[in-house]
Amino acid sequence: MAKVFLNDTILDADAARIDPGDTGLLHGMGLFETLRVYHRVPFRISKHLDRLFASAAALGLPIRHTREQIVAAASDLLDANDLDDARMRITATAGPAVAEGDPQPTLLITVTGQVGYPAHLYEQGMAVAIAGPRVNPADPMAGHKTLAYWPRMTTLRQAHKAGFGEALWFTLDGHLSEGCISNVFIVTGGRLITPPASTPCLPGVTRGAVMEVAAADGIDVAEAPITHRELLDAEEVLLTASTMEVMPVVLVERKPIPAAAAKPVPGPMARTLHKGLRRLIEQETRR
């Protein structure tokens, strides 16, 4: 039986109970982080917690545990489930609504055996759609990983039904923001470019790691606005996410990347960055 960490206890998943008045359940008042675990070490958990606590402070969400307590709970949970390579999710909600007294926020940590993306996608590349909805920079939730993920999941399901692996979101003023569950990079003139966090887009942990790898390899990397035309004219497009690592894109809708390719195949930058990311992961997680 899988084990979960709920508030202060590790228990069987089927014994875990969330208060029916929890505002995360009723109103989506919560945040979450998804991490990859390698060799029983959550990759860059400190960076994920930086983002979690920064968003909590910005949105006024109380978190009942300290960073150190969350790290310890995550480690204990991996041991309890005897998992070395896994997918971990940390969910923090505002807890039950209370008229008076101290708030009682909820913290839930779950782990599952990692199910990665099929190997052929890294070899052949992914096709992506353009999302119909748009990111509104005035939305106070934009740039935060909140529980209000229904629009993203609905858009992703529609993309999957149409044969695409991901859908890319643009802002109301026509700038590339991010994927439903990923960050986006383009390569143009040998330069690696990703939308700035102020676009807004989620400041992804894997996004940051890839930018470090690129800079260390002498690749010119920058955060800059990206238009629809610049996306379609890119030499390469690639996605990053904790569970995805580095995914090459070879079709945007039905447009090949690069445009002149007779048969779209992943470009050299995606392969170089994925190898570099894997080296970094091994350095930071191999005990």
* 182-208 confidence digits (pLDDT tens): 999 999 999 999 999 999 999 999 999
Q: Which residues, 6 or more positions from 72, have their beta carbon under 8 angstroms from its beta carbon?
A: none
pLDDT at 100: 65
Helix (H) or strand (E) holding 58: helix 45-59
Q: What's the whole-model pTM score?
A: 0.95
Residue 151 vs residues 163, 255, 286: alpha-carbon distances, Å? 19, 25, 37
What superfamily does domain 119-285 belong to in CATH?
Answer: D-amino Acid Aminotransferase, subunit A, domain 2 (3.20.10.10)
* Start-end of CATH 3.30.470.10 domains in the chain: 3-113
Give 47-91 pLDDT, tens digit per residue. 999 999 999 999 999 998 999 999 999 999 999 999 999 999 999
Task: Classify residue 64 by burial, with Cβ atoms within 10 Å: 0-12, 13-18, 19+.
Answer: middle
With CA atoms as reference, report the closest residue to 169 among 199, 192, 198, 148.
Answer: 199
DSSP H or E run through 53:
helix 45-59
Rounded to whole angstroms, how far apart are CA atoms 39 and 247?
22
Prior bond of 200 cis (ω within 30°)? yes
| CB-count burial class (<10 Å; 0-12, 13-18, 19+) for 33 | buried
DSSP one-letter code for 96 = B
The architecture in CATH of the region 3-113 reads 2-Layer Sandwich (3.30)
Provide the pLDDT confidence category of residue 98 given band limits of 50, 70 and 90: confident
Positions of CATH 3.20.10.10 in the chain: 119-285
Strands 3-6, 106-113: pairing kind: antiparallel
